[in-house]
Amino acid sequence: MKRPLKKWLLDIYRILEDTYGVQQCFLKHEDPLQLMVSAILSAQCTDANVNRVSPGLFRKYRNVRDFAEADIKVLQKDIKSIGLFRAKSKNIINACKKIIKEFGGKLPSEMEKLVTLPGIGRKTANVLLCHAFDKPGFPVDTHVQRLTNRIGLVKTENPVKIEMIVNKNISEEYWCSFSQLLISHGRARCRARNPDCEHCEIRNLCEKKI
């Protein structure tokens, strides 16, 4: 018999919420611009690593103009401990230049505008919608990709398709926290290698327990 998809998904959500509690943004920030910079820095890098570097960075670069006018060599040095620091420095500077030139110095809060900024893809734009602007958004990272496939919700690695399927089947008020909860579960239990299916809280609802 076909399972009622929406109820099944909400059941998973509820169990994960009971397990991990209400989730805050994993990247430390005090305003939308700081979150944008941290999100650019976090590509292929752990949030913990970004959170180690970002407080010092935000003491030095206090606003969009400070980043836009930064000397790229100096900024590269400031974020050198983070992977891909050359490309990330360039993206941060160019994104901030564009924010000044096209958006009046203020980070826009619409998906269509956010994805025009250098270094901002759909995942990062969704992170910004959720955590900087309190709007619905479902960021799909590698944990979310893996989890949604393993539990049997999707059969695709395509992040946009995953986002659309989730958006269709769970109310938008849950999008942001559902993504956070899946990430927490991916880190704690459903790891890429050696998932702990034996002790998994959603084992009975997971299609592909290993």
Q: What are the residue numbers of the active site?
A: 123, 141
Q: Is residue 145 within the footprint of ligand SF4 (CB under 6 A)?
A: no
Using CA of residue 59, residue 62, residue 67, residue 69, what is the dihedral sign?
negative
Minimum CB separation from ligand SF4 for residue 152, in Å?
9
* Binding segment (CB under 6 A) for ligand SF4, from list 21-29, 68-76, 77-85, 193-201: 193-201
DSSP 180: H
Residue 156 neighbours by CB under 8 Å, 6+ apart: 149, 162
Q: Is residue 210 within the footprint of ligand SF4 (CB under 6 A)?
A: yes
C-alpha to C-alpha distances, 183 to 34, 140, 190, nearest whole angstrom: 21, 9, 9
The residue from 150, 170, 176, 180 that contacts ligand SF4 (CB under 6 A) is 150
- Name which of 30 and 194 has its Cβ closer to ligand SF4: 194
- Name which of 31 and 196 has its Cβ closer to ligand SF4: 196
Q: Is residue 97 within the footprint of ligand SF4 (CB under 6 A)?
A: no
The residue from 80, 86, 106, 208 that contacts ligand SF4 (CB under 6 A) is 208
Please give the Cα distance from 200 to 185 (Å, whole number).
Answer: 9
* Contact predicate 121/20, CB 8 Å: no
Cα 78 vs. chain centroid, distance in angstroms?
23
Contact positions vs ligand SF4 (CB under 6 A): 150-151, 189-190, 195-197, 200, 202-203, 206, 208-210
